A = this chain, B = another copy of it.
Amino acid sequence: MSKAHIHPVTVHFGDCDPAGIVFFPNFSRWMDQASLAFFRARGVPPWRELEATRGIVGTPLLEIRTRFLRPATYGDELQIVTTIESWADKTFKHRHRVLRGDELLCEGTEVRAFVVRDPDTGRLRAIPIPEDIKARCG
């Protein structure tokens, strides 16, 4: 498993719903931030550079699975601990653990693929995991 990256998140008033707790899709949003921060911390350029140089437009999701254990509210300081759990030929799996101090609030996995835009159809399609990116994340 890869070395973990830690992405800090402060919960804001507007992230919370009428029950006073984080509206849950924000956890997915923060995990997405944590995923990109993971790659950036390993020296992978931002997607707009990779798009210009190699046609890679990002790492869209194929599947997510998330368990919500405890709610969070505004003012909370969270840490998202992100690893790559496994690599397949054309996909990889992240694990994200969302902590508030020692408490685990939320845990999830994401299956993602590196995609390029097909020049003919304009559609996105998955490519084999780029070896140089995989090497940086090992």
Binding site for B on A (CB under 8 A): 12-14, 16-21, 23-26, 28-29, 32-33, 36, 40, 46-48, 57-58, 60-68, 71, 73-75, 115, 124
Question: B14 near A23 (CB under 8 angstroms)?
Answer: yes
Known contacts A18-B17, A18-B48, A75-B46; decide if A62 and B57 are in contact (CB<8 Å).
no
For A14, the chain B residues whose CB sits under 8 A away are 17, 23, 25, 29, 32-33
For A75, the chain B residues whose CB sits under 8 A away are 40, 46
- Assembled-state Cα–Cα distance A18/B72 (Å): 13
A16 contact from B18, B21, B28, Cβ within 8 A: B18
- Quote the shortest CB–CB distance from A91 to chain B (angstroms): 12
- Quote the shortest CB–CB distance from A104 to chain B (angstroms): 14
Query: Taking CB as reference atom, which chain B residue is nearest A71?
Result: B124
Question: B32 near A13 (CB under 8 angstroms)?
Answer: yes
Question: B13 near A36 (CB under 8 angstroms)?
Answer: yes
Question: B60 near A68 (CB under 8 angstroms)?
Answer: yes
Q: A13-B36, A63-B65, A64-B68 are in contact. List 17 more A-B contacts (CB 8 A).
A: A12-B33, A14-B23, A14-B33, A16-B18, A17-B17, A18-B57, A18-B58, A18-B73, A19-B58, A19-B124, A24-B28, A24-B60, A25-B32, A46-B74, A46-B75, A64-B64, A64-B65
